[in-house]
Amino acid sequence: MTIPGLGILKGLRQTARNYWAPKVTNQYPESRPTMPDRWRGRLDLIYDPFGEHKCEVCFQCAQVCPVEAIDMSGFDSSGNRIRYGLPEIYDERKDPNAYRRAGLPAMPMRNAARWDEEIDTPWLRGVIDGFGGKPEALVAIFSAVEERYGYLPERALREASERMSIHWAQIFGAAGLGGFRLLPADGHLVTICTCAACRFAGGDALLTALRADLGIEPGETTADGTITLETSDEVAAGALSPALRIDTLVYGPLTVEQGRHVVGERRKAPVRARSGQPVA
Amino acid sequence: MTDSGTSLSPQIRILPGGDQRLLAEIGVVDPNSLDSYRKAGGYAGLRRAVEKLGPEATIDEVAAAGLRGRGGGGYPTADKWRAARAASGDSKVVVANLIGADPTALGDRALAEGNPHLLLEGLLVAAFATGASDAIIAVRRDWTVAIERLRAAIAEAEAAHLAGYLVLGTDFSCVVRVWEGAVALVAGEETALLAALAGDRGMPVIRPPYPTERGLGGAPTTVQNGETLAHAAWIASHGAKKFRAIGSKEAPGTKLVTVYGRVAQPGLVEVALGTPLSEIVALAGGGTGTTKAVFVGGPGGGALSADQLDTRYDYEPLHAAGAGIGLGQVLVADTDTCMVDSARFFLDYSAREACGKAVPCRIGTKRLVETLDRILAASPRPNDLLLLRELSRKMTDTALCHLEARAPGPMLTTLDRFPDEYRAHAERGECLAGACKGSRVAPLLAPLAGL
Amino acid sequence: MDFSLLLGVLRFLLATTLILVLTIPTAFVVIQMELKIIAGAQLRYGPNRVGPWGMFQSTIHGFKVLAKEDHIPDQADRATFTLAPWMVYMAAAMSMLVIPFAPGAIAADFNIGVVYFFAVLGLSVVGLLVAGWASYNKYSLLGGLRSAAQMVSYEIPLTLSVVGVVVLAGTLNFRELIEWQRAHGWMLIWQPVALVIFYIASLAEINRTPFDMVEADSELVAGPFTEYSGMRFGFFFFAEYVALFIMSGIMISLFFGGWLAPWPFPDQLDGFIGTVYGVVWFFIKTYIFVAIAVLLRATLVRVRVDQLMGTAWKVLLPLAMVNLLVTAAAVLVFKL
């Protein structure tokens, strides 16, 4: 037989007992919990309702992390999949999940074998020490490396980070916004200027013609590896618009015919760096 | 004598005409020789400032001349110097911004290559007035000729005790160095430039505190556009009254303007502020074809239609018309230019050059480009035109730097002044200018052309 | 110059001031008890940083509440909005006047003390209604109406159960009620049913769990108090806890002998010592019941509003009436 009120009394007995029982609260900060050695707090990226990462790879978390715990990867604006963080990846629609859900193949990683290339570490150390290892000299160091290799190899950036004790997120950030190349370019680098002056002077026609001629899109290399095509706003053609730059020399103003001609000519010549030395 | 000789890089073409003050000596003065500069009256300004005027009076002179920053903001230079002078700190810095954020603007490059001592003198005058002991000239690393000549000029000046320690025998010391920079469009924003100078990624920070209060390494820093410094040197030698002789009342003096686009002779020209735009275009040989619009101020400016060409080239009139002075870019477009496509181009440029720090800028510019792509593809969403305006307003309201605030400028002004083109594209996919035939980049998932 | 009258007036003023002042520390103590007991029942420490063993937590809460922004909704009726917390608080404070703390320590020794008490208690219903209406918020209004309905419904079994006690003791004076209990033994032996009804009804009357639908934190926001902030809300908050104290005090006065000490101890002492002795026992007994009420809050599940009203009208009221009938009959028959 159920006696009314008995349940209440039982409950009261339990709470009263609890009152005298030892408490389970951890009195932080007097007593800190001990974490096991291999404990890892995991960073999980959030997905939006459409299944895409909300992360836009704006790079700021990596740059500000005091223990350099964050690595990032994504696509650069030429559509190349870069690992370990190329900063100007603003196009979240190139997120691999977006591609996957659209049924499209993810963009292949260009020059996959070369991102881990060996570099001349003693030379680089000399360059860095020559500048006193100061962060203000970062651009100058990058210039020297780019002069020698034609781009900034990842190994070089990591070495710079270690040597100068700067987060390599910061190194990448500075490199990314500075117009340095982070991928090697096979063969001659043909950069077509897309600044306002060149475009309004007919630079588009030049780009279209060269794309058709070489059969590649900007960001790609021809099949024989002699020409890599790119566009840039920073060719600084000025009065030479419309212009293009092959390696380090700016040619302009060019008509479509002239442009084709000069590219065809340079294609046969060996590649040289800014200082005139052959690229390593 | 440097390897590059005395001529300017072929990228720079200086047009005759206009009211030449800064450009007057280019071609006359040997950029590699200090003596040649001094013979033409160079360093008289610095001498006058250091030996006769003193820092306060120098600032007063610049204030009396009404010099305004030529980097696009038009901020009164004397006020900036006064703020830096009043700031507390032992080691102050002056930075000459020659990064030339927009590569189409040739003014700073012409000065750096053609008359580096003028820039140096202006920089030293600024350093003296603000009490700075360090000066940095931030130059774009592509301008190899300019860098060479500037370095040589600094060496010569130091040897002649015009720079470096104990300038002209006084206790004013200012060590000048050249910093080769690699920054994007955002270099026009002074805090971004200072971040890059410190080795960081060049992104702006919230202001206040302004760099004149706390800048490079915590020291009060005055960042000044190269052309502004050149004008300051001119004022120091010729006096405030002469400076005010030409130009408008609110903005005296001259400005280096780069005219390009559909003109007969694109190039660099120096004009008095207040000159009507039509005159400026005429100096470049006039428009080829029928001029439809003029984009004044680059990607952060705006479009003026052909019947507004009598607008005076001055800070306030241009601002009222929705444009801006910027770095002195004047782009002439004719009737074969599609306004929607041009707007998309400028927005795309801003999107690609954005540093990525502020969310409304980073994503907003991209969304605006996508919206324009939809319009160009004749498949707009019902509220796309409303979206253009709303998003632009939001970006401007919450902008971290002026690049973000002014990025929608070209699009909004073309939308205001050429709505038929937008409508034609959106409704019928028809380009009223007859220009859009496969020359623009395909929208959405295809990779953008350009790094 | 009638000194006795003057003295009486002075004494009254002093007593009322003391009562008013006493409400605040009482509220603090009760709130602190609530924080600690519920924490203990939930296997946690409760506040233990502010002061030794967290003693001053509720005091600091009081000060914090003073510092908050005083916001009145734009379209609220300012006069009534300001009046409402005052009414509720005054109901609690005024009813404290008749609580028998000790033989000589009753602020106002009315002959109709019981009636006065329950009459004044009804003022808080008005206060809640006014609060709900003056907020210009339909949810507050609904909350106020519900609260009024609940309180009004439970007042009836509450007072009816006390009528049985009064009939038995033959007086409406609290002091004489306790005197009767001293002579005849504590009332709980004589009126156990009335005790149960009174206890349940009193919990419902002061909106304590399990009957706190009104301000249930996950229900109608804060019920009629939604728009109140800062000290205005503080008034309501304090009034509730003071009411808990008062109800417990009244209950022990009616059923558990008031200031009388339990069996092994002498009932009452004389003189000043007697007053202190009585006050101490009064407080001990009151706080025991406050603690029980708080523990009930930690234990019991909130009842639904229809179950709430159902209990009042369909269970407690008939029970109270039956109890009254039986008590009256017994008095008549046994000439008690």
Task: With beta carbons less than 8 A apart as the criterion, state whether B135 and B176 touch.
Answer: yes
Q: How far apart are CA C68 and CA B181, in angstroms?
A: 53
User: Which residue among C42, C44, C296 sits closest to A12, beta carbon to beta carbon?
Assistant: C296
**Residue A42 pLDDT level (bands cut at 50, 70, 90):** low
Q: Is there a contact between A135 and B184 if contact means CB atoms under 8 Å apart?
A: no
CA atoms B391, B396, B397, B402: torsion sign? positive
Task: With beta carbons less than 8 A apart as the criterion, state whether B44 and B180 touch.
Answer: no
Chains C and B touch (3+ CB pairs under 8 A): no
Q: Rounded to whole angstroms, what are the CA distances from A130 to A136, B176, B279, C149, C307?
A: 13, 20, 52, 86, 85
Length of chain C: 336
Strands (E), C163-246: none
Shortest CA distance from A29: residue in chain C: C49
Q: How far apart are CA B104 and CA B101, in angstroms?
A: 9
Q: What is the pLDDT of residues C107-132, one digit of tens each?
A: 888 889 999 999 998 898 999 899 98
Cβ neighbours around B218 below 10 Å, total:
10
**Which residue has better confidence, B101 or B105?**
B105
Q: Which of A68-77, B67-76, B117-126 has the highest mean pLDDT?
A: B117-126
- Whether the CB of A143 is below 8 Å from some CB of chain B: the reply is yes
Which of chain B's residues have a Cβ under 8 Å away from the Cβ of A181?
A: 451
Q: Is there a contact between A18 and C42 if contact means CB atoms under 8 Å apart?
A: yes
Superfamily of domain A188-268: Glutaredoxin (3.40.30.10)
The DSSP secondary-structure symbol of A199 reads I
> What share of chain B in percent tops pLDDT 70?
96
pLDDT at A274: 46
Q: What is the pLDDT of residues C151-194, one digit of tens each?
A: 999 999 999 999 999 999 989 999 999 999 999 889 999 999 99
Q: Is there a contact between C45 and A16 if contact means CB atoms under 8 Å apart?
A: no
pLDDT at A41: 61
Name B233's Cβ contacts closer than 8 Å, sequence gap at least 6: B45, B46, B118, B119, B121, B122, B125
**Which residue has better confidence, B440 or B137?**
B137
**Which residue has better confidence, A236 or C17?**
C17
Token pair recorded at residue B318: 């241009």
Q: Mean pLDDT, to the nearest integer, of A170-183?
A: 77
Q: Do domains B23-243 and B339-428 have the same CATH topology?
A: no
pLDDT at C270: 83
Which of chain A's residues have a Cβ under 8 Å away from the Cβ of C296?
A: 8, 12
Q: Which residues of C274-297 are buried (b: 16+ CB within 10 A; e: fewer)?
A: bbebbeebbbebbbebbbebbbbb
pLDDT at B1 over 50: no
Q: Is there a contact between B200 and A56 if contact means CB atoms under 8 Å apart?
A: no
Q: Are strands A227-232 and A188-193 parallel, antiparallel or unpaired?
A: parallel
pLDDT at C70: 85
pLDDT at A18 over 70: yes
Q: How far is C33 from chain A (nearest CA, A)?
A: 12
Interface of A with B in 158-217 (CB under 8 A): 166, 170, 173-174, 176-181, 194-197, 199-201, 204-205, 207-208, 217
Q: Is there a contact between A173 and B200 if contact means CB atoms under 8 Å apart?
A: yes
Task: Give me chain B's average pLDDT, please.
Answer: 87
pLDDT at A40: 57
Q: Mean pLDDT, to the nearest integer, of A136-150?
A: 87
Q: Which of A232, A237, A243 is nearest to B13 (CA)?
A: A237
- Region of poorest pLDDT, from B3-7, B160-164, B317-321, C82-86: B3-7
- Give the residue extent of every domain in chain A: 60-108, 121-177, 188-268
pLDDT at B446 over 80: no
Q: Which of C261, C263, C268, C255 is nearest to C282 (CA)?
A: C261
Length of chain A: 280
pLDDT at B448 over 60: no
**Which residue has better confidence, B429 or B234?**
B234
Q: How far apart are CA B272 and CA C125, in angstroms?
A: 81
Question: 3-state class of B109 per DSSP?
Answer: helix
pLDDT at B450: 27
Determine the CATH number of domain B254-334.
3.10.20.600
User: Which residue among C37, C43, C300 sits closest to A11, beta carbon to beta carbon?
Assistant: C300
Q: Mean pLDDT, to the nearest integer, of C229-246?
A: 89
Q: Is there a contact between B448 and A91 if contact means CB atoms under 8 Å apart?
A: yes
Q: Is there a contact between A19 and C300 if contact means CB atoms under 8 Å apart?
A: no
Instruction: Tell me yes or no: is domain B23-243 CATH 3.30.200.20.
Output: no
Alpha helices in chain A (DSSP H): 6-20, 60-64, 96-101, 121-130, 138-149, 154-164, 168-177, 196-198, 204-214, 256-268
Question: 3-state class of A33 per DSSP?
Answer: coil
Q: Which value does ipTM take for this structure?
A: 0.78
Q: Mean pLDDT, to the nearest integer, of B259-274?
A: 90
**Residue A232 pLDDT level (bands cut at 50, 70, 90):** confident
Fold classification of B339-428 (topology level): de novo design (two linked rop proteins) (1.20.1440)
- Give the residue extent of every domain in chain B: 23-243, 254-334, 339-428
Length of chain B: 451
Task: Give me chain C's average pLDDT, please.
Answer: 88
